[in-house]
Amino acid sequence: MPCEPFGRASVLAAISELQQGKVIVVTDDESRENEGDLIMAAEFATAETIGFIVRYSSGVICVPLPSERLEALMLPPMVVNNEDPKQTAFTVSVDFKVGTTTGISAADRAATFRALADASTKPEDFQRPGHVFPLRPRPGGVLERDGHTEATMDFCRLAGLRPAGVLCEVVNDDGSMARVPDLIPFCQKHDLVLTSIADLIAYIKEGTASK
């Protein structure tokens, strides 16, 4: 493991890992979803990294994008009335059209993630529906909503990367959701940084207070 799990040092390590195109694990509060998500910067997505995420996750891989980017790509909400208890804001799903086949392979999804992170792509470059699920984050980030959607965007921002990230929930071999006692050995085995949304919030507040 690149550093001890959780705490301020884990946030700094996570930022560094993202800048290098690596995957990190971020947990939320036990009273919320009590889950850990695999997260990386969308601009660095490869068949290898997405294949790793597919293997150890639920497989429903999402990509938070700023509201203005979603509007520019003409990606409306998936449903008019969002009944998700956590109000996760899914949009219509997409696949990148160029150089892909069915859209479901790790390579195809990686191409879609990179294309969504590329500001030059246009609505007509994507087909709908697809196998990648864009999300609309709250503009205030984790200080407004302490979810993985916002954490992904804040981490990309702090890393100085494009505002587009990849995230998916870690699952155990039996298909159950991985909790902290599962995630610590998982991150040790795969040499991943393990941090939390609470640590990220504290880090952002610390930086705001020092200004």
Q: From first to last of the 211 residues of the chain, give the pLDDT tens digit.
A: 788 899 999 999 999 999 999 999 999 987 666 799 999 999 999 999 999 999 999 999 999 999 999 999 999 999 888 887 878 899 999 999 999 999 999 999 999 999 999 999 999 999 999 999 999 999 999 999 999 999 999 999 999 999 999 999 999 999 999 999 999 999 999 999 999 999 999 999 998 766 5
pLDDT recorded at residue 210: 64
H or E segment and range at residue 135 = strand 126-135
What's the pLDDT at 3? 85
**From the centroid of its chain, how far is CA 37?**
7
Quote the CA–CA distance of 149 and 142 in Å, as a whole number.
9
pTM across the whole model: 0.94
- Burial category of 115 from C-beta neighbours within 10 Å (exposed 0-12, middle 13-18, buried 19 and up): buried
Q: Which residues partner with 166 through β-bridges?
A: 40
Residue 171 identity: V
